[in-house]
Amino acid sequence: MTAFIFPGQGSQKVGMGVELADASAHAREVFEEVDEALNQKLSALMKDGPESELTLTSNAQPAIMANSIATLRVLEKEFGVSLADKADCVAGHSLGEYSALCAAGAFGLAETAKLLRLRGIAMQDAVPIGVGAMAALLGADIEKAGVLAEAAAEGQVCEVANDNDPTQVVISGHAEAIDRAIEMARDHGIKRGIKLPVSAPFHCSLMQPAAQRMKLALADTSPNGFTVPLYANVTAARVSDPAEEQALLVDQITGRVRWRESVLAMREAGVERFVELGGKVLGPMVGRIDKQAGTVSLVTMEDLENFAKENG
């Protein structure tokens, strides 16, 4: 069994998608449709930067999705390898869950771009800049991270945001609490804490105003049925009901990204191979979660060609 997986924020970089767009009209069509949906030359920003603008949450989220979907579109249209035929399920990391839903037909491309633009703005607006922060805890498992977050909170918000793999957990909350957690990391048997270059404290209870805005947006643009089941971030469980997934996308804004558990759940269900589209972030994570799992990351035309040769 095979899972198609889609990366999240942090995988953006200037130059993303350029090679695909140069080589394939199908990739260009994806980027053009997203530009039109957002009424912005996002593809030019992806190509030339500046990086500071591409990294803004409201730009990074639709850009990462566009790159993933362009990669998939080229695989399907140029190389004849379709998600419906090859994937038994899909999953995505944070905003990647929207890319996964788009890939599986739950949302149209333009709809997905608009939802992610709104999601980015809503998450940015939820907390004034400087009030919140996030940190990656290296050499931390989920138990250690949870104990540290509780100890560092001191009446403020300090929560586990991403359970990425057995060696990396991300915490999120008030900036002072995150600073305390970084200072206390060693005392809790954690190698170290590194503050992340993000503009808001994602996936914690401070994001509640953003969750409310997404609830309204998703009521207007609800998901359709999807061609293959999805493993949802907040439950690390299989979903195939659009109404259930609609509620989970709202919960995802304040909830933990349970990526490690999602991968283990897919493995338990019989998934042997994970195919990452448009990034090289999740493949290595999957390898750290389960060394026996097969992984492949598709970014370049050469990657796609090689994959198609083996899976045509």
To the query of whether residue 203 is one of the catalytic residues in this protein, the response is yes
DSSP string, 108-147: -HHHHHHHHHHHHHHHHHHS-TTTEEEEEEET--HHHHHH
Which of 94, 99, 172, 297 is flagged as catalytic?
94
Q: Is 68 a catalytic residue?
A: no
Catalytic-role residue among 199, 203, 262, 297: 203
Do residues 38 and 31 make contact, with C-beta atoms less than 8 angstroms apart?
no
Contact between 20 and 96 under an 8 Å Cβ cutoff? The reply is no
Q: Which residues are catalytic?
A: 94, 203
